[in-house]
C-alpha cells in the first residue's frame, strides 16, 4: 500500500494506492474555511473510498496534515466551506435523489463515528404536495403589511441574470451570516457557482422581493430535472433557498413568498415540492411543517478536536 500526498496551494490531497490502484482519496482544506473561536477550521472533503478498510488510514493522514498546519478542529465531510459540497447522507426514504442533492454516501457516517468524530449538525429534506401548501387567512394580512411597506415580488430575469444573482448574493450574505460554520464568499465566486444552472431555471420559480428596487428577500426554486430520467416528466420543484433580510423578517415575507411560489408551481402543472437541505434549527423547518411536508432525507455533518 502506498500513501501519496499532493501539496497544492491551500490544500493537500491524500491518495492511497493498493496494487497500483487508487482505493481512497480525500482533500484537506485549510483556507477559506469556517472559523471556530476565531481560528480557521480544517475541513476534509472530496472523499472517495473504494476500499473501506483503508478509511481509517485516510482520515488519520488527513488529520496529521491539518494538525501540522496548526489546525485544532476538523469538520467533515466538507469541500472547504458550506458554499460547496458538504454533509453526508444519514437516513433516507425510498424517494429517488433529486437535482442538486450532491452529498457523501451514507457509509461515511459510521466511518467518521468510528474515528471519534461527533455529529455537530443535522439537516433534512422534506417533500409535500403543492395542494397542501399553507393558504390560511393570515396570508391576506401579511400581504397587506408587505404592500404597505411598498415591497413588490417579481420574477427572476434571465436576460440580466448577473444583476439578479448579485441581488440574491447581497441577501444571502446578510441572512446567513449567523448560520453555523458560515464562511464569507466573494460576489464573483457566488455568481460562478450559480452560472451552470442558468439555462435550467424557470424565471417564474424564482421570486425577488424588492423595496424601491432594492432587494430585501428571495425564494429560489428549480424544477427537479432528475425526474425526467426516472419518470419521463417533471412532477416536483426543489425549494433550494429562501432568505429575507433581518430587518424585514418580522413581516413574515418568507411565508408570503412560499405561498406565491406554490401557486405558480401548481399552475405550471407541478404536483409536489421538496424543501432541500434545511438546517434542523432553522425557521425553514417550521415553514416546512406548516406546508405539510414530510421528511424524506436526513444528513449529518461531523467535527473533531485534534
Examine residue 182 and state whether it is found in any structural domain, yes or no: yes
Residue 105 maps to a domain = no
pLDDT tens per residue, range 161-196: 999 999 999 999 999 998 889 999 999 999 999 999
Q: How many domains does the chain have?
A: 2
What rounded mean pLDDT belongs to the chain? 95
User: What's residue 178's pLDDT?
Assistant: 85
Residue 37 pLDDT level (bands cut at 50, 70, 90) = confident
Residue 285 has pLDDT above 90, yes or no: no
Write out pLDDT tens, residues 111-147.
Answer: 999 999 999 999 999 999 999 999 999 999 999 999 9
- pLDDT at position 136 is 92
Residues found in the chain: 306
Please check the confidence at residue 8 and state whether its pLDDT lies above 90. Answer: no
List of residues 6+ apart from 120 with CB closer than 8 A: 75, 180, 301, 302, 303
Could you tell me if 163 and 295 lie in one domain?
A: yes
Q: Is residue 118 part of a domain?
A: no
Tell me: pLDDT of 217 over 80.
yes
In a domain, 96, yes or no: no
Q: Distance (Å, rounded) from C-alpha 42 to C-alpha 39?
A: 10
Same domain, 72 and 134: no
Q: For position 38, what pLDDT does the model report? A: 84
Q: Are 26 and 136 within one domain?
A: no
Are 172 and 243 in contact by the 8 Å Cβ rule? The answer is: yes
Q: Are residues 73 and 144 in the same domain?
A: no
Task: Please write the tens of the pLDDT for every residue from 55-80.
Answer: 999 999 999 999 999 999 999 999 99
**Residues 157 and 287 placed together within one structural domain of the fold:** yes
Q: Is residue 103 part of a domain?
A: no
Angle between helices 283-290 and 253-267 (to 10 degrees): 50
DSSP for 181-195, written as a single string: T-----HHHHHHHHG
Same domain, 152 and 296: yes
Confidence of residue 287 (pLDDT cuts 50, 70, 90): confident
Distance of CA 269 to the CA centre of its chain: 26
pTM (two decimals)? 0.93
Domain that holds residue 35: 2-81
Question: Residue 280's pLDDT is what?
Answer: 76
pLDDT at 282 over 80: no
CA distance 112 to 248: 40
Which one of 57, 81, 105 terminates a domain? 81
Residues 145 and 263 in one domain: yes
Cell reading at 78: 466538507
Model confidence at 276, pLDDT cuts 50, 70, 90, reads: very high
Residue 158 maps to a domain: yes
Mean pLDDT of the region 261-289:
90
CATH at 143: 3.40.630.30
Question: What's the pLDDT score for residue 230?
Answer: 83
pLDDT value at residue 80:
96
Residue 119 forms part of a structural domain: no
Residue 242 has pLDDT above 90, yes or no: yes
Quote the pLDDT of residue 286.
80
CA-to-CA distance for 298 and 27, rounded, in angstroms? 24
Amino acid at each position: 500500500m502506498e500513501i501519496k500526498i499532493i501539496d497544492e496551494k491551500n490544500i493537500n490531497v491524500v491518495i492511497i494506492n493498493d496494487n497500483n490502484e487508487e482505493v481512497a482519496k480525500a482533500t484537506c482544506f485549510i483556507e477559506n474555511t469556517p472559523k471556530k473561536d476565531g481560528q480557521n477550521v480544517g475541513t476534509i472533503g472530496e472523499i472517495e473510498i473504494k476500499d473501506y478498510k483503508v478509511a481509517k488510514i485516510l482520515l488519520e493522514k488527513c488529520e496529521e496534515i491539518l494538525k501540522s498546519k496548526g489546525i485544532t478542529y476538523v469538520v467533515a465531510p466538507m469541500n472547504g466551506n458550506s458554499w460547496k459540497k458538504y454533509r453526508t447522507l444519514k437516513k433516507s426514504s425510498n424517494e429517488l435523489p433529486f437535482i442538486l442533492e450532491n452529498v457523501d454516501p451514507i457509509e461515511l457516517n459510521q466511518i467518521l463515528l468510528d474515528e471519534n468524530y461527533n455529529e455537530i449538525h443535522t439537516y433534512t429534506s422534506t417533500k409535500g404536495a403543492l395542494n397542501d401548501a399553507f393558504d390560511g387567512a393570515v396570508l391576506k394580512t401579511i400581504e397587506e403589511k408587505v404592500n404597505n411597506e411598498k415591497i413588490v415580488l417579481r420574477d427572476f430575469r434571465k436576460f440580466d441574470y448577473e444583476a439578479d444573482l448579485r441581488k440574491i448574493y447581497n441577501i444571502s450574505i446578510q441572512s446567513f451570516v449567523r448560520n453555523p460554520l458560515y464562511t464569507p464568499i466573494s460576489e464573483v465566486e457566488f455568481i460562478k457557482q450559480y452560472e451552470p444552472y442558468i439555462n435550467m431555471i424557470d424565471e417564474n420559480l424564482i421570486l425577488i422581493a424588492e423595496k424601491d428596487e432594492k432587494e430585501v428577500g428571495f425564494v429560489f426554486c428549480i424544477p427537479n430535472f432528475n425526474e425526467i430520467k426516472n419518470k419521463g416528466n417533471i412532477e416536483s420543484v426543489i425549494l433550494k433557498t429562501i432568505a429575507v433580510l433581518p430587518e424585514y423578517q418580522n413581516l413574515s415575507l418568507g411565508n408570503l413568498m412560499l405561498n406565491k411560489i406554490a401557486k405558480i408551481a401548481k399552475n405550471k402543472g407541478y404536483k409536489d415540492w421538496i424543501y432541500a437541505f434545511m438546517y434542523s434549527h432553522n425557521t425553514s423547518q417550521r415553514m416546512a411543517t406548516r406546508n405539510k411536508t414530510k421528511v424524506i432525507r436526513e444528513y449529518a455533518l461531523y467535527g473533531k478536536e485534534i
